[in-house]
């Protein structure tokens, strides 16, 4: 199994999951926003052959190629059910897990990616600086909704560590790095989960 990624991008959540699952893998660092002639570039023809968007992550396992981080998380969790990344729980609990995953993707991380696109990812002529204030507003709204979705427990779902906790911790790490206003309790959530041995091992891979 091979995971292509870059530092603390969305690929980190997949790297973390692989460490939680105890699955053997090869990690291949990819450079974004570099010239196509660089063999390690996301724009190099060899990489575009496996991920036509020239983004990370990409997971390759035999003939299977996955390029969406949450699909990769689910795949890893199902390969290693003993990891608990997907809990042994009722349909109602799984519905809550899926709802939280959708919320993180659609609401919580969306304003973060908006800032990323309009500060460095998009060509300069396509950036809209005024959008950055809108991103802060949307993130604040998402935080308010999350306050009502999450319980006061240690974990997001089913009283155990799951792939949702990886998503939340990595997304809040992203928000902190992008200088969004993150409530202290979610900074503590990030810190607590990043202290897990698997998270530390994943961080060691990229540093």
Question: Is domain 2-83 in CATH 3.40.47.10, yes or no?
Answer: no
Across all residues in the chain, what is the average pLDDT? 96
**pLDDT given at position 117:** 93
Find, among 170, 157, 158, 159, the residue nearest to 196 by Cα: 170
- Where along the chain do its domains lie? 2-83, 91-196
Q: What is the pTM of this model?
A: 0.96
Question: Parallel, antiparallel, or unpaired: how do β-strands 58-61 and 2-5 relate?
Answer: antiparallel
At 34 the pLDDT is 85
Strand order in the sheet with 26-29: 26-29, 2-5, 58-61, 64-66
State the pLDDT at residue 88.
Answer: 92
CATH fold for domain 91-196: Glutathione S-transferase Yfyf (Class Pi); Chain A, domain 2 (1.20.1050)
Confirm if 167 and 13 have CB atoms less than 8 A apart.
yes
Please give the structure tokens belonging to residue 163.
């792939």
**DSSP, res 38:** S
Task: Answer yes or no: is pLDDT of 4 > 90.
Answer: yes
The angle subtended at Cα 159 by Cα 94 and Cα 76, nearest 5°, is 55
Contact 79, 17 (CB under 8 A): no
Nearest by Cα to 16 from 83, 92, 88: 83
Could you count the other beta carbons within 10 Å of the beta carbon of residue 65? 13
All residues at 6 or more sequence positions from 101 whose CB lies less than 8 Å from its CB, including other chains: 70, 163, 164, 167
Residue 35 has pLDDT above 90, yes or no: no
Topology alike, domains 2-83 and 91-196: no
Contacts of 120 (CB under 8 A, 6+ apart): 33
pLDDT at 153: 87
Are the C-beta atoms of 27 and 5 separated by less than 8 Å? yes
């Amino acid at each position: 199994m091979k995971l292509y990624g870059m530092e603390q991008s969305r690929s980190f959540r997949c790297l973390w999951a692989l460490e939680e699952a105890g699955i053997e893998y090869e990690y291949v660092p990819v450079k974004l926003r570099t010239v196509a002639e660089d063999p390690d570039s996301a724009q190099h023809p060899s990489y575009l052959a496996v991920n036509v968007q020239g983004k990370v992550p990409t997971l390759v396992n035999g003939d299977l190629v996955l390029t969406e981080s949450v699909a990769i998380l689910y795949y890893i969790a199902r390969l290693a059910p003993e990891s608990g990344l997907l809990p042994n729980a009722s349909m109602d609990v799984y519905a809550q897990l899926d709802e939280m995953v959708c919320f993180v993707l659609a609401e919580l991380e969306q304003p973060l990616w908006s800032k990323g696109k309009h500060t460095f990812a998009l060509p300069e002529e396509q950036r809209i600086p005024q959008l950055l204030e809108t991103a802060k507003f949307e993130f604040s709204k998402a935080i308010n909704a999350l306050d009502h979705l999450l319980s006061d427990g240690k974990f997001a779902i089913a009283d155990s560590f799951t792939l949702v906790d990886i998503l939340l911790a990595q997304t809040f790490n992203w928000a902190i790095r992008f200088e969004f206003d993150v409530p202290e309790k979610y900074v503590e959530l990030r810190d607590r989960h990043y202290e897990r041995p698997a998270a530390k091992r994943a961080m060691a891979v990229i540093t």
